[in-house]
Structure 1
Amino acid sequence: MFTASETPMPLLPAGYDIIWSLVVTVIIAFFFFRYLLPKLNAILDERAAKIEGGLQLAEQAKAEAAESRAEVERELVAARKQAAGIREEATADGAQIVAEAKSKAQAEANRIAENAQRQIEAERQSAIVSLRSEVGELATELASRIVGESLADDARQSRVIDRFLAELDSTVDEPVAAGSPATPNASSPQSEA
């Protein structure tokens, strides 16, 4: 199967491909371990450092976020307390304003009632004076008719009127006895005549 020109080389064994493969593998391994592997390790170390730095930054950001959240919560609690204080103060102010308004209204009502009472009393006194003079004139005229003589004398007229009104006041002030209304003494104006 082999021809004469195709004689195997006696120096090289039949497995020379294995030797050359080993030599090339050793050279590639030498370059790989000598130059390529340190660069890959440096790149991987750099990436690991970046990842660790990123993780540290993430942890730091997480801590800052938690601190910010706690600060916000503290501010919210303070704001709620302040709002509650403002509400309580407004409620107290409102109650004070209502109390002041009530006291002013009560004072005004008392003043108006006192003025009305004074006015009523003044009108009552005026009515009493007017009624006394009218009743006196009527009593004088009636007594004059009954007696048949004139009661033109002012002093006599005044005494008759005063006595008549006094008796009228006393009968009005006395309680009604036995269901019959009290009547003024009709003979009083006659006795003066």
Structure 2
Amino acid sequence: MNINATLFLQAIVFAILVWFTMRFIWPPVMKALDERAQKIADGLAAADKAKSELATANKRVDEQLSQARNETTKQLADAEKRAAAIVDEAKKRAEDEGAKIVAAAKAEAEQQAARAREALREQVAALAVKGAEQILQREVNASVHAELLGRLKTEL
């Protein structure tokens, strides 16, 4: 065989191999490579999107935490104000109740003093009648002299 014919035959076989590869093997390989590149690009885009969403979510969480802290601080301040108001109201009620008790005690003391004065007046009137009886050496009739005894009680 001739070298030129061998080279020519090898070139034809190589051309058939290139044509066969280009026609049947190359398109599925390129398609697989393109799909893989697209998946990688989609994955990178999803990662970037997730990263930005994470940053946004972190920002929202920080804002909500800050808002929750502010609300908690406000609620604590309101609770302290309410507690102080309740304490003040309880003190006022206690003072009012104490004043009522003191007033009732004073009224009771005045009533007892008036009863004691009245009892003393009656005892003094009885003693005065007995003293007058002994001075006059006779019995003084209390029902007859009731007006006189009443004036004597009021003077005492």
How big is the shift at 1:72? 2.1
Instruction: State the Cα distance separating 1:95 from its structure 2 match.
Output: 1.9
Matched, 1:126 2:115: yes
Counterparts of residues 96-107 of structure 1 (less than 5 Å): 96-107=85-96
1:40 and 2:32 matched? no
Greater Rg over alpha carbons, structure: 1
Alignment match, 1:68: 57
- RMSD value, Cα: 3.5
Identity between Structure 1 and Structure 2 (%): 29
Unaligned runs of 5+ in 2: none
TM-score normalised over the length of structure 1? 0.59
Q: How many aligned positions are there?
A: 147
Are 1:90 and 2:79 an aligned pair? yes
Which one has the bigger helix percentage? 2
Q: Deviations over 1:139-176 (max 9, x none)?
A: 5425754x574595848x949x95xxxxxxxxxxxxxx
**What whole-Å deviation, never above 9, does each CA across 1:91-133 have from its counterpart, x for those lacking one?**
2112212211220221122022112201211221121121122
Q: Secondary structure at the match of 1:119?
A: helix
| Aligned residue identity for 2:54 | A
Moved more, 123-132 or 23-32: 23-32
Alignment-derived partner of residue 101 in structure 2: 112
Partner SS for 1:105: helix
